Amino acid sequence: MLSILDRWERHPDVEAIWDKIKPALPPEIFILAILKTGRVAAKIDRLAHELPREAKPISRIERFLTERQLGQGNRFLAWLGDLRQGQERLLSRNTETAARTQFMVTLRDYFAVQCGQSLDDVVATLTNIVLDLKPKGIGLPRERTEVTADHVRDAAKAAREDPSN
């Protein structure tokens, strides 16, 4: 968390961001919200990379429970199906950017409620600071590159179109 605060302090847009949010949010509430949202994004990122990608063991369990047609097993199978769908969404081609996307959408929604506007430029800057994203460069993976206000708007639009994300 200290590294986030250090990056915040060194960022050239700090004063402009403060000017935009100060009328609506006390500094301590703002900082707490950013740090908490950053922790959630880190957990999502960790989870996305820890979940197993192989479906064979799940398929064997599904087949066994379907063959036996056990009441409790069928409930478990339904739960397993839900879990599998969530896992497939999380481990889709967007796995690498899941945490970043969740962070942007959550923060955008937070500012819309607290400040009366989504503040996409502020959300983009905070995403870059909290997640330590870098300017585009050769050999730098997409999920580690800086986002813009357009990225924030695109993420929010995608979240509205598919609320399960």
Say yes or no: 36 and 72 in one domain: no
Instruction: Please say if the pLDDT value at position 124 is more than 90.
Output: yes
Confidence of residue 120 (pLDDT cuts 50, 70, 90): very high
- CA atoms in the 13 A half-sphere facing the CB of 85: 7
Say yes or no: 8 and 25 in one domain: yes
User: b/e for 11-47, b at 16 or more Cβ within 10 A?
Assistant: eebeeebeebbeeebeeeebeebbeebbeebeebbee
Looking at 90, 114, 141, the residue that finishes a domain is 90
The pLDDT of residue 1 is 72
Instruction: Please say if the pLDDT value at position 117 is more than 60.
Output: yes
Instruction: Please say if the pLDDT value at position 77 is more than 80.
Output: no
Q: How many domains does the chain have?
A: 2
The pLDDT of residue 142 is 73
Confidence of residue 75 (pLDDT cuts 50, 70, 90): low
Residue by residue, DSSP assigns the chain as -HHHHHHHHH-TTHHHHHHHHTTTS-HHHHHHHHHHHHHHHHHHHHHHHHS----HHHHHHHHHHHHHT-HHHHHHHHHHHHHHHHHHHHTSTTGGGHHHHHHHHHHHHHHHHHHSS--HHHHHHHHHHHTT-B---TT--GGGB---HHHHHHHHHHHHH-TT-
The pLDDT of residue 163 is 57
CB–CB of 44/99 below 8 Å? yes
The pLDDT of residue 150 is 94
CA distance 121 to 111: 11
- Over pLDDT 90: what percentage of the chain? 13
Query: What pLDDT, in 10s, does the model give residues 45-71?
Result: 776 666 555 555 555 555 555 555 455
CA distance 46 to 121: 26
Instruction: Write out the residue range of the structural domain in which residue 130 sits.
Output: 2-49+95-161
Residue 125 or 89, more confident = 125
Average pLDDT for 103-108? 89
Looking at 90, 120, 151, the residue that finishes a domain is 90
Instruction: Please say if the pLDDT value at position 28 is more than 80.
Output: yes
- Shortest CA distance to 123 belongs to which of 99, 94, 103? 103
Confidence of residue 122 (pLDDT cuts 50, 70, 90): very high
Say yes or no: 14 and 72 in one domain: no
The residue with tokens 């607290």 is: 114
CA distance 83 to 5: 36
